[in-house]
Amino acid sequence: MIKLSNFPFKTLKTRPKVSDNISTSILLQAWFIRQTMAWVYSYTTLWQRVIENIKKITREELNNYGCYETYMPWLSPREIWDKTWRWDIEDYFKVDAHGDKQYRLNPTHEEIVVPLMQDFIGSYKDSETCVYQIKDKYRNEKRAKSWLLRWRDFIMKDAYSFHLTNEGFEEYYEWMKKIYMSIFERLWLWKDTYITVADGWVFTDKYSHEFQTVLPIWEDTIYIDDTTWESFNQEVAPSKIWIENISDIEMFEKQDIEHDSSIVWVEALEKLLGVPVIKTTKTLFFVADDNRFVVASLRGDYEVNTIKLRQIVWCNSLLMASEEMVKKYIWTNIWFAWIINLPDSVELYIDDSVEWMTNFETWTNRDNHHSINVNFWRDLTIPDRFYDFKDAKIWDKNPSTWIIYRVEKASEVWNIFPLETKYTKPFWMKFTDENNTEQDVIMWCYGIGISRLMWVIAEYYMTENGIAWPESVAPADYYIIVIWEENLEKANEMAIKLEQEWKSVILDDRMSKKIGFGQKAGDSELFWIPNRVVISPKTVEQWGYELTIRGKESQLIKF
């Protein structure tokens, strides 16, 4: 039990203003956390209890489905990271040791788990398996932000499954989704958590899956089709636009307009030419990692999504082309270049946001000139294919169903990456099939940000007075308030009895004159323990105590 009379962590009278995340201010006021340095935190007793409850639920569900817990080290040698060409990643910490030795402070454990497991998977007779761990991770995170959302020192559950066939994985993946949703159900998050398609980041060339929880303070925007329950991160969301306002029945006469050199942005064009933004176009120029020159054109109010475009172009990276590069290929100023008269060496991609546009604006490949009332069917060669490489926007539709997306702000709490043979091949991890032929082992990984999940729960269940923790993760089951010293013995007996029933207790036995019932009640709301007990002279006179269960009326219970 925690006795507040000698508890070292004291609540603050006011909330520190640290960010837009009110839950962060509440956690600081309640002394759940303290900042050690930028995006590195110390956890106090109550916050640690929340963490351990989340870990417990995660372990129980993984173990129930036949996953096996392991412990892998924080440090690993450089040579295994050289095998996978990941040593030079700037976001991963490096540690110099004696002599010329270098180690990694592990941000993830693919390079460690593959050598660990390759001695145990060698034949088709070996069953497919999954191992996991829950431990601290370290990343030199450039995107550290939102106080408790993205840290440099964080706790993660990472699981790794190994499969002999893709069919074996597909079956296993369905089990893993059930594990995930069971965990979220026990954390009271499942109603607002969506399995979301996302970018594979550095792990895979394919898409990954994220579990995103809807939150007003967010890191991501997700697009949900309520008819199919499909959900997409904005970074990969396929989209179709409304076409009603961009197609005219009549094609107007094309006009070329000369203007001064300051008119280059869409807003200025809209004002100068009297053309609505949905009738404008923009063209951007990229260089692929294999030196291909790529031209991408789309509607003026959309942005190029380089993740989607990279998948279309089939390259690992795309960089914006310089002005010199554009002049080299298109012989014009980058601000006025467009898609006409392109050399054969240039790859042109046109987004489907312009597919049904009529009477639209374009650049002309002439300095300080624009054209209006341009039409594909009359003025341009219709491309063989239109693509989708735009950032999805509100009111866009799912191309599969033509249903308008519901757009929500959300935070990622879990992810699944199809690693396939990305890490098993460098370590020569193989199995022998029925024909005595060696095949590469297929690998997938599944991550939960335990410390991130704590913040998501805190933000999701934040109230004006505190954080209404789900009972499954609350730092205690009961908060006992004692009024007057003569009632301490009764309160202590009750606390011991509750603990014998496997309930956790915070006993507010502070007897200072400065700490009255008001502060004790306020702290109980700040901690927001599910059950509050008050033992006072008034209740003792009635041979009982006052019990308040969250969300219900108080009642007198006899001793």
Q: What pLDDT, in 10s, does the model give residues 439-466?
A: 999 999 999 999 888 889 998 998 888 8
Amino acid identity at 531: N
The Cβ of residue 54 has, within 10 Å, a number of other Cβ atoms equal to: 25
Domains 48-238+411-460 and 255-379 share a fold: no
CA-to-CA dists, residue 101 to 80, 90, 92, 182, angstroms: 13, 18, 17, 44
Q: How much of the chain, in percent, has pLDDT values that exceed 90?
A: 54
**pLDDT surpassing 90 at residue 231:** yes
| CATH code of domain 478-558 | 3.40.50.800
The domain 48-238+411-460 is classified under which CATH number: 3.30.930.10, 3.40.309.10, 3.40.1160.10, 3.40.630.10?
3.30.930.10
Q: What fold, for 255-379? A: YbaK protein (3.90.960)
Q: Which among 218, 225, 222 has a CA at the least distance from the CA of 209? A: 222
Ramachandran assignment for 477, one of left (phi > 0), alpha (psi -120 to 50 degrees), beta (any other): alpha
Cα separation, 109 vs 118, whole angstroms: 14
Spatial contact of 320 and 286, defined as CB atoms under 8 Å apart: yes
Which pLDDT belongs to residue 144?
53
Mean of all residue pLDDT scores within the chain: 88
Which two three-digit tokens encode residue 552?
């219900």
CA-to-CA dists, residue 21 to 25, 149, 215, 341, 528, angstroms: 7, 10, 11, 52, 18
CA-to-CA dists, residue 31 to 26, 43, 504, 507, 527, angstroms: 8, 9, 19, 17, 10
Which pLDDT belongs to residue 385?
92
Expressed in angstroms, the distance from the first to the final Cα of the chain is: 20
Residue 270 backbone phi and psi in degrees, to 5: -60, -40
Over residues 48-80, the pLDDT tens digits come to 999 999 999 999 999 998 999 999 999 999 999
**pLDDT surpassing 70 at residue 220:** yes
The Cβ of residue 376 has, within 10 Å, a number of other Cβ atoms equal to: 16
Over residues 10-55, the pLDDT tens digits come to 999 888 877 667 888 888 899 898 888 777 788 999 999 999 999 9
Helix (H, G, I), strand (E, B) or coil at 350: strand
- pLDDT bin (cut points 50, 70, 90) of residue 141 is confident
Q: Where are the domains of the chain?
A: 48-238+411-460, 255-379, 478-558
